[in-house]
Amino acid sequence: MPSTCPQSFIDLPKVELHVHMEGSIRPETLLKLAKKNDVSLPADTVEGLREWYVFRDFEHFVEIYVAISNCIKTPEDIELITREFLDGQAAQNVVHSEVTYTACTIKNLRGIPWDEQFDALKRGMKYGLETHGATMGLILDIVRGDSPDIANEVAEWAVSGHGEGVLALGLAGSEARDAARPYIEAFAHAKKHGLPIIPHAGETQGPESIWEALELCDPPRIGHGIRCMDDPALVEELKKRGTVLEVCPTSNVCLTPIASIADHPIQSMIDAGLNVTINSDDPPMFNTTLSDEYHRVSEAFGWDMAMAKQMARNALEWSYLPDDAKLLVSSRLN
């Protein structure tokens, strides 16, 4: 489906704080990787993939996400998807992206050691910087349901890569499946080494999942967090802490009971004084882009371009870009 996004939203310089590398693989590339690596997918056309990406619930989404990850077999595949990701971000003026990447799944499915994955990611990042001036950092996530040993390994990788491209330790997967508590050792390791933890919480589950994340991770940012609106005390706590919420509107329409962008709580969250950013999560899987997200939300809530710019400024401010780079991007948002 051709994008109907107005050029003004594409031209707006943007920073993205919540987007997944494997969930951003272009459908055409996914089909090529599946063929090359002898993986059978339930579709062999882009239209077929689009039909496959109609999710019954979050568990179904995770199942499809793992099937996609299984199409990545070599470090070269990882480099390719990183390059294409940054081509796509640059084409819509996303100047900096903080990207969640699930290294443990790739290692478990395909046996690619972390150092080989990291080298491939760094080659892709170097390409993005040299070709487009687009920067990227990594959030290595633990998947809820994985063993504490795997989580400890991920935390170790994240700590060792901090300063070389890794920005934070993440926590993703199905909130319903398990609590975050089995991973306290991994969180402690990250914290001891000054690495922030950015968990997904309050997406498919209610305020208790956010309270738990606050208690265990003390996160500067939370993926989604939209269900905080069910608990006024939690809203106050998030405001007091200044926690940034990485909101992904179309993803929420696809995976939660929110029926449309107009029904999304993003406007109420902003009105409540929360620190809100706009993100795309897994853009091709939800038939969106970051520019589309800015457009859809602006249209649904009657925002003018000044408001859209303010949201872009917020994401820039709450990113891990160094101050001099922030100043440069900021000057383009005046």
Nearest-approach distance from CB 172 to Zn ion, in angstroms: 6
Catalytic residue among 22, 98, 203, 293: 203
Site string for Zn ion, 141-180 (x = CB under 5 A): ----------------------------------------
Exposed, middle or buried by CB within 10 Å (0-12, 13-18, 19+), for 254? Answer: buried
Encoded amino acid at 303, one letter: W
Nearest-approach distance from CB 251 to Zn ion, in angstroms: 7
Site string for Zn ion, 8-47 (x = CB under 5 A): ----------------------------------------
Cβ contacts of 283 within 8 Å, gap of 6 or more? 19, 23, 24, 88, 289, 290, 292
Site string for Zn ion, 277-316 (x = CB under 5 A): ----x-----------------------------------
Nearest-approach distance from CB 21 to Zn ion, in angstroms: 11
Site string for Zn ion, 218-247 (x = CB under 5 A): -----x------------------------
Judged by beta carbon, residue 93 or residue 251, the one nearer Zn ion is 251
Distance CA 260, CA 332 (A): 32
Task: Find the angle CA(115)-CA(320)-CA(273) to the nearest 5 degrees.
Answer: 135
DSSP run (H or E) holding 138: strand 135-143
Nearest-approach distance from CB 202 to Zn ion, in angstroms: 12
Nearest-approach distance from CB 101 to Zn ion, in angstroms: 11
Q: How many residues does the chain have?
A: 334
Is 203 a known active-site residue?
A: yes
Distance CA 151, CA 127 (A): 30
Judged by beta carbon, residue 75 or residue 196, the one nearer Zn ion is 196
Across the strands, what pairs with 221?
244
Q: Are 264 and 252 in contact (CB under 8 A)?
A: yes
Which spans of this chain sit near Zn ion (rule: CB under 5 A)? 223, 281
Return the active site residues: 203
